[in-house]
Amino acid sequence: MKPLIKICGINNFNILQQLVSIDNINYLGFIFYEKSVRNVSPEFLEQVKEFEFKDKRPVCVYVNSDQDFIKKTSSYFKDPILQFHGDETSDFCNSFDNEFWKVLRINNQINVDEIIRYEKASGILFENYKKDQPGGTGESFDWSLINSVKDLDMKIILSGGINCENVDNAIDINPWCLDINSGVESSPGVKNIDLIKQLLDKINI
Protein backbone atom coordinates (compact mmCIF):
# COMPACT_ATOMS: atom_id res chain seq x y z
CA MET A 1 0.00 0.00 0.00
CA LYS A 2 1.35 3.42 -0.95
CA PRO A 3 2.02 5.83 1.94
CA LEU A 4 0.03 8.99 2.48
CA ILE A 5 1.94 12.20 1.68
CA LYS A 6 2.49 15.35 3.70
CA ILE A 7 4.25 18.36 2.20
CA CYS A 8 5.57 20.39 5.12
CA GLY A 9 7.10 23.83 5.59
CA ILE A 10 4.71 25.82 3.40
CA ASN A 11 4.87 29.57 3.97
CA ASN A 12 4.12 30.96 0.51
CA PHE A 13 0.49 31.49 -0.46
CA ASN A 14 1.08 31.01 -4.18
CA ILE A 15 2.71 27.63 -3.51
CA LEU A 16 -0.18 26.67 -1.26
CA GLN A 17 -2.68 27.49 -4.01
CA GLN A 18 -0.81 25.22 -6.40
CA LEU A 19 -0.46 22.36 -3.92
CA VAL A 20 -4.18 22.02 -3.20
CA SER A 21 -4.74 21.24 -6.88
CA ILE A 22 -2.20 18.41 -6.99
CA ASP A 23 -3.47 14.85 -6.53
CA ASN A 24 -1.92 12.37 -4.08
CA ILE A 25 -1.07 14.95 -1.42
CA ASN A 26 -2.97 14.30 1.80
CA TYR A 27 -1.56 16.77 4.34
CA LEU A 28 -0.08 20.27 4.14
CA GLY A 29 2.20 21.36 6.99
CA PHE A 30 2.75 24.84 8.41
CA ILE A 31 5.60 25.57 10.81
CA PHE A 32 5.18 27.96 13.73
CA TYR A 33 8.76 28.26 14.94
CA GLU A 34 10.60 31.56 14.60
CA LYS A 35 14.04 29.98 14.21
CA SER A 36 12.93 28.07 11.12
CA VAL A 37 13.38 29.49 7.61
CA ARG A 38 9.95 27.97 6.95
CA ASN A 39 8.22 29.88 9.75
CA VAL A 40 4.71 31.11 8.93
CA SER A 41 4.26 34.89 8.90
CA PRO A 42 1.23 36.78 10.30
CA GLU A 43 0.53 37.97 6.74
CA PHE A 44 0.38 34.39 5.48
CA LEU A 45 -1.98 33.47 8.31
CA GLU A 46 -4.39 36.20 7.29
CA GLN A 47 -4.37 34.91 3.71
CA VAL A 48 -5.03 31.34 4.79
CA LYS A 49 -7.96 32.18 7.07
CA GLU A 50 -10.64 31.71 4.41
CA PHE A 51 -8.66 29.29 2.26
CA GLU A 52 -10.34 26.15 0.93
CA PHE A 53 -8.07 23.14 1.47
CA LYS A 54 -10.29 20.83 -0.61
CA ASP A 55 -9.23 17.23 0.12
CA LYS A 56 -6.02 18.17 1.98
CA ARG A 57 -5.80 18.49 5.74
CA PRO A 58 -3.67 21.17 7.42
CA VAL A 59 -1.04 20.26 10.01
CA CYS A 60 0.24 22.98 12.36
CA VAL A 61 3.77 22.33 13.63
CA TYR A 62 5.00 23.61 17.01
CA VAL A 63 8.20 23.46 19.05
CA ASN A 64 7.63 24.01 22.79
CA SER A 65 5.01 26.71 22.15
CA ASP A 66 2.62 27.83 24.86
CA GLN A 67 -1.02 26.84 24.84
CA ASP A 68 -2.37 30.28 23.95
CA PHE A 69 -0.10 30.61 20.93
CA ILE A 70 -1.09 27.16 19.67
CA LYS A 71 -4.80 27.81 20.08
CA LYS A 72 -4.59 31.21 18.42
CA THR A 73 -2.54 30.22 15.36
CA SER A 74 -4.26 26.89 14.73
CA SER A 75 -7.65 28.64 14.81
CA TYR A 76 -6.91 30.05 11.34
CA PHE A 77 -7.29 26.53 9.94
CA LYS A 78 -10.28 24.24 9.75
CA ASP A 79 -9.84 21.03 11.78
CA PRO A 80 -6.02 21.06 11.80
CA ILE A 81 -3.82 18.32 13.19
CA LEU A 82 -1.32 19.63 15.76
CA GLN A 83 2.23 18.34 15.36
CA PHE A 84 4.42 18.64 18.45
CA HIS A 85 8.11 18.79 17.66
CA GLY A 86 9.62 19.70 21.04
CA ASP A 87 9.63 18.42 24.61
CA GLU A 88 5.87 18.60 25.04
CA THR A 89 4.49 16.17 27.62
CA SER A 90 1.73 13.73 26.86
CA ASP A 91 -0.62 15.70 29.10
CA PHE A 92 0.14 18.90 27.18
CA CYS A 93 -0.48 17.23 23.81
CA ASN A 94 -3.75 15.81 25.09
CA SER A 95 -4.93 19.18 26.43
CA PHE A 96 -6.23 20.38 23.05
CA ASP A 97 -9.40 19.42 21.23
CA ASN A 98 -7.36 18.58 18.14
CA GLU A 99 -5.95 15.35 16.82
CA PHE A 100 -2.17 15.40 17.24
CA TRP A 101 1.04 13.85 15.96
CA LYS A 102 4.14 13.58 18.16
CA VAL A 103 7.63 13.83 16.74
CA LEU A 104 10.39 11.64 18.17
CA ARG A 105 13.96 12.45 17.22
CA ILE A 106 16.02 9.34 16.53
CA ASN A 107 19.75 9.13 17.17
CA ASN A 108 20.87 5.49 17.15
CA GLN A 109 17.89 3.72 18.69
CA ILE A 110 14.14 4.06 19.17
CA ASN A 111 12.79 4.43 22.71
CA VAL A 112 9.68 2.27 22.93
CA ASP A 113 8.70 3.75 26.32
CA GLU A 114 8.60 7.19 24.71
CA ILE A 115 6.24 5.96 21.99
CA ILE A 116 3.91 4.37 24.53
CA ARG A 117 3.87 7.62 26.52
CA TYR A 118 2.10 9.29 23.59
CA GLU A 119 -0.45 6.53 23.07
CA LYS A 120 -3.21 9.01 22.20
CA ALA A 121 -1.24 10.46 19.29
CA SER A 122 -2.87 9.64 15.96
CA GLY A 123 0.59 9.43 14.41
CA ILE A 124 4.23 9.17 15.53
CA LEU A 125 6.68 11.03 13.30
CA PHE A 126 10.28 9.81 13.34
CA GLU A 127 12.87 12.50 12.65
CA ASN A 128 16.65 12.50 12.55
CA TYR A 129 18.31 13.72 15.75
CA LYS A 130 20.65 16.67 15.41
CA LYS A 131 21.89 18.51 18.50
CA ASP A 132 20.12 21.83 19.12
CA GLN A 133 18.07 21.49 15.93
CA PRO A 134 14.46 20.35 16.49
CA GLY A 135 13.63 19.00 13.05
CA GLY A 136 14.12 20.15 9.50
CA THR A 137 17.65 18.75 9.43
CA GLY A 138 17.27 17.52 5.86
CA GLU A 139 19.15 14.38 6.90
CA SER A 140 17.98 10.81 7.27
CA PHE A 141 18.48 8.53 10.24
CA ASP A 142 18.88 4.76 9.93
CA TRP A 143 15.35 4.03 8.69
CA SER A 144 15.80 0.30 9.31
CA LEU A 145 15.43 1.07 13.04
CA ILE A 146 11.69 1.44 12.34
CA ASN A 147 11.48 -2.33 11.91
CA SER A 148 12.07 -2.76 15.65
CA VAL A 149 8.77 -1.04 16.50
CA LYS A 150 6.56 -2.23 13.64
CA ASP A 151 4.55 -4.42 16.02
CA LEU A 152 3.37 -1.44 18.06
CA ASP A 153 -0.12 -0.09 17.40
CA MET A 154 0.70 3.26 15.79
CA LYS A 155 0.75 5.09 12.50
CA ILE A 156 4.36 5.65 11.49
CA ILE A 157 5.25 8.91 9.76
CA LEU A 158 8.74 8.92 8.25
CA SER A 159 10.79 12.08 7.66
CA GLY A 160 14.34 13.24 7.14
CA GLY A 161 15.51 14.57 3.80
CA ILE A 162 13.19 12.41 1.69
CA ASN A 163 13.74 13.22 -2.00
CA CYS A 164 13.57 11.65 -5.46
CA GLU A 165 16.83 9.77 -4.88
CA ASN A 166 15.94 8.04 -1.62
CA VAL A 167 12.12 7.86 -1.64
CA ASP A 168 12.18 4.21 -2.75
CA ASN A 169 14.12 3.33 0.41
CA ALA A 170 11.61 5.27 2.49
CA ILE A 171 8.68 3.40 0.90
CA ASP A 172 10.40 0.06 1.58
CA ILE A 173 10.02 0.79 5.32
CA ASN A 174 6.25 0.72 4.70
CA PRO A 175 5.34 3.83 6.71
CA TRP A 176 1.76 5.06 6.99
CA CYS A 177 2.82 8.55 5.80
CA LEU A 178 5.87 10.30 4.34
CA ASP A 179 6.73 13.79 5.59
CA ILE A 180 8.34 15.69 2.72
CA ASN A 181 10.09 19.00 3.33
CA SER A 182 13.63 20.02 2.39
CA GLY A 183 13.92 17.31 -0.27
CA VAL A 184 11.57 19.23 -2.58
CA GLU A 185 13.08 22.70 -2.21
CA SER A 186 15.13 24.71 -4.70
CA SER A 187 16.74 26.55 -1.76
CA PRO A 188 16.15 26.41 2.02
CA GLY A 189 12.50 27.20 2.69
CA VAL A 190 11.54 27.59 -0.98
CA LYS A 191 9.28 24.78 -2.24
CA ASN A 192 9.73 23.67 -5.84
CA ILE A 193 6.50 22.49 -7.49
CA ASP A 194 8.38 20.57 -10.21
CA LEU A 195 10.37 18.61 -7.61
CA ILE A 196 7.17 17.85 -5.70
CA LYS A 197 5.50 16.53 -8.86
CA GLN A 198 8.58 14.44 -9.74
CA LEU A 199 8.58 12.89 -6.28
CA LEU A 200 4.85 12.14 -6.41
CA ASP A 201 5.26 10.57 -9.85
CA LYS A 202 7.98 8.31 -8.50
CA ILE A 203 5.86 7.26 -5.52
CA ASN A 204 2.81 6.55 -7.68
CA ILE A 205 4.45 4.57 -10.48
Q: Considering only CA atoms, which of 107, 102, 96 is closest in space to residue 74? A: 96
Beta-carbon-side half-sphere exposure of residue 189 (alpha carbons within 13 Å)? 12
CA distance 134 to 127: 9
Domain of residue 188 covers 4-203
DSSP reduced 3-state for 185: strand
Strand pairing partners for 158?
126, 178
Chain mean position to CA 90: 18
Q: CATH no. for residue 13?
A: 3.20.20.70
Task: Render each residue's pLDDT in the chain as its tens digit; 205 residues.
Answer: 899 999 999 999 999 999 999 999 999 999 999 999 999 999 999 999 999 999 999 999 999 999 999 999 999 999 999 999 999 999 999 999 999 999 998 877 788 888 999 999 999 999 876 665 555 555 677 888 888 888 888 999 999 889 999 999 999 999 999 999 999 999 999 999 999 999 999 998 7
Domain count, the chain: 1
Q: What is the pTM of this model?
A: 0.94
